[in-house]
Structure 1
């Protein structure tokens, strides 16, 4: 599929884009609250350090598995337009979730899992069993997440994005209710308690998404004219590069933490980076659905989508600049809300300042990825992610050697450089695509003219 499709060109007003986008950005921001609910519940355990640590380590593996499920949302919203493509997408979802569940069961109930947690993640013998027990619950969260993402893809492509916000709010309300019951009965004694709260919330959100999604699916045409998706292999050709790119991206956070561990004050460096990246993720969540704007509106009105992206893309950078260069961030945000102080506060503020480049690049990387999705050129995303990883690692090694006492800003600057490199690679490929299309059009026109002259002659 090309962005030069035969779809009818029409103007899209700014209000339409805004009403489509706000529920997506709001629901993405609400995700962070669900983790706050869990962590604040586990913090009330008799031994909170062990309980939170076991849950957090299990979540690190869950994050890898869930990436495989979450990209079903982009795949569905891009490719599903009729009953045939929906059934194909549903089958792919079943295959993907079955594979994830099988791999998760192997990790959770075999010596392979124990070796993974103890050797690769460095989990101590004391923490090993609690971590595995937490993961045995979290692996089912991935399944419900995949079901949710399948139907959210249908919901998004049909411009009913308010249902993502509704689903997230129902999820948060239900999680808060479960957390209240757990605390009232003094059941917070294990990391898997947090996993059960997460599972309950995700199951409810999946239910809301599936109920609305099924209604929309029934209204889809049996076969949309000129829609090119009619084979399962087409969906896998779109999905697989996204999967590879996502798995490559997973390697960046642990690499940054590992290198920061070599710095002069490792604990301060790692902690300040963790505090700063949590703030940045919250701000970037506003623009994390730019690709959906591109998928659903770029073919209709490129100019308006571009203008909208320019305006929205500046919000995280402006907010981050205010937080990192004014007393609002120091006193109102990090010190009183997050609770950091002294040297950690100073290092966190410094780290935030070096993330401004990252927040400038992030929305445009998502924008470019959206264009690649509508062109079905998702393979390019694997190359751009590899470029990101190489640039990040190179910057980390250079910075840790030249500024060993730099603290968390080493990770922030390295990750910013990595995203800048990813954006450059994406722009290069998109530019080459544009040039090739122009050359093809020129050749086509000249061949036609030449043929006409030969016939006339």
Structure 2
């Protein structure tokens, strides 16, 4: 049994001191997207410019999602330098595939086909859309490096470094956005891609610096009793996460593709992007609930459950304040610089997103239990349910209420997330946890 599996009472101060830096760093991640959308909203044709950035950004999820999963895998499996070397080897394969896929999309007819026929990009926007993705494809590599070392940092309870890295990133992105605005150079979606890439490079460098320091000074060569030593063991845990992520990444592109069939295409895509970015700004603070489960659940499950119960009410309350009080319109108009028509459409979409804010905290909690048990195959089924219900909702909505515009995307994403939670709860109730109190060669 490892130290992480020893049962003891965990105080709320311990949970808060661990979770708060993670929540802040995740909120700052979403704030970076708000900065970008606010910058692009100041272009002469904001709907066109935001659309040319939002579409390749959703495609970025296809390459970035497998890289982001390295954080969960590393924080769960890496306890010594031997297991880290195995994790790093697996990561190198992931990065190689990301680069190959990006080059194919950017420099072969495959990319044109994807944007024209899957996303429904208008021919006159094709060149600008691909030019944005030629910058964004490199974001995935630095995001993966960041997440790999985040896994080490999180397990060693140095979560403040995630906040520090994100703080530096946000400052740099904000300063660069001010440069583009003051010099009147917000002319295309490439501006958003450049801001995003620079911020990711900076955050990755901070994570690598702290993670390397931990490897040299804190993390031992071998932890007695820790079973993870080979790439095969890493892959057995990581592959179901990867498969589920491949299923999940079709959700974003599917939504944007269907929004391209709405009554007002540019308004639909732009309002969904803005409402989605603000909703994620709120939800992102709670996106590390699974890390609380991974690091504390086996020590004190009751305290973790009570802590999550309190947290679960907060995101819905915050979104309600933005969507139904004057604070939302004020923030969109004065902080983001959104025009009146786009603001109204974004507020309507945000009200639909309230469904997802009620569901998400519990979904992340359940996913943490799945990873802790090593039963990551369950996530393939739950993500399949999410994607299936999302796509069905999209087609039904575009047929029944095409004038809902951005609200169609918000409804589909919310209902899909609810379906994912229901599947996870059902399977966990039907599946008894094995007797092992921690990871073992058997469940790897």
TM-score, normalised to structure 2, is 0.87
Give the Cα–Cα distance (whole angstroms) in 2 for the partners of residues 161 and 191 of structure 1.
Answer: 33
Question: Residue in 1 aligned with 2:190?
Answer: 192
C-alpha displacement of 1:374: 1.2
C-alpha displacement of 1:328: 3.9
C-alpha displacement of 1:161: 0.7
C-alpha displacement of 1:326: 3.8
Aligned to 2:431, the other structure's residue is in SS state: helix
Greater RCO (CA < 8 Å, at least 6 residues apart): 2
1:214 aligned onto 2:212: yes
Q: How does 1:137-286 map to 2 (within 5 A)?
A: 137-181=135-179, 190-218=188-216, 219-260=218-259, 272-286=271-285
Contact 1:5/1:299 (8 A) holds in 2: no
C-alpha displacement of 1:207: 0.9
1:299 aligned onto 2:289: no
Question: Residue in 2 aligned with 1:74?
Answer: 72
Question: Residue in 2 aligned with 1:455?
Answer: none
Question: Which segment is superposed worse, 159-168 or 356-365?
Answer: 356-365
Structure of larger gyration radius: 1
C-alpha displacement of 1:286: 1.5
Q: 1:136 to 1:328 in 2, by over 3 A?
A: closer
* Match of residue 431, structure 2, among 430, 433, 439: 433
TM-score, normalised to structure 1, is 0.85
For structure 1, which runs of at least 5 residues remain unmatched after alignment? 441-457
Question: Residue in 1 aligned with 2:440?
Answer: none
Q: 1:309 to 1:337 in 2, by over 3 A?
A: same
Q: How does 1:3-18 map to 2 (within 5 A)?
A: 7-18=5-16
What is the root-mean-square deviation in Å for CA atoms of aligned residues? 3.1
* Match of residue 380, structure 1, among 374, 378, 381: 378
Contact 2:34/2:277 (8 A) holds in 1: no
Aligned to 1:355, the other structure's residue is in SS state: helix
Aligned to 1:200, the other structure's residue is in SS state: helix
Contact 2:256/2:269 (8 A) holds in 1: yes
C-alpha displacement of 1:98: 1.3
Aligned to 1:354, the other structure's residue is in SS state: helix
Contact 1:175/1:198 (8 A) holds in 2: yes
Question: Which segment is superposed worse, 334-343 or 349-358?
Answer: 334-343
Give the Cα–Cα distance (whole angstroms) in 2 for the partners of residues 410 and 46 of structure 1.
Answer: 26
Contact 2:363/2:421 (8 A) holds in 1: yes
Query: What is the CA deviation profile of residues 366-392 of structure 1, one whole-angstrom value per residue up to 9, with x for unaligned ones?
Result: 111111111111111010011112223
Contact 1:25/1:289 (8 A) holds in 2: yes
Query: What is the CA deviation profile of residues 225-275 of structure 1, one whole-angstrom value per residue up to 9, with x for unaligned ones?
Result: 221211101111211211221222222234334445556666665555444
1:359 aligned onto 2:362: no
Question: Residue in 1 aligned with 2:391?
Answer: 393
Question: Residue in 2 aligned with 1:443?
Answer: none
* Match of residue 23, structure 2, among 22, 25, 39: 25
Contact 1:42/1:48 (8 A) holds in 2: yes
Q: 1:273 to 1:175 in 2, by over 3 A?
A: closer
Q: 1:416 to 1:58 in 2, by over 3 A?
A: closer
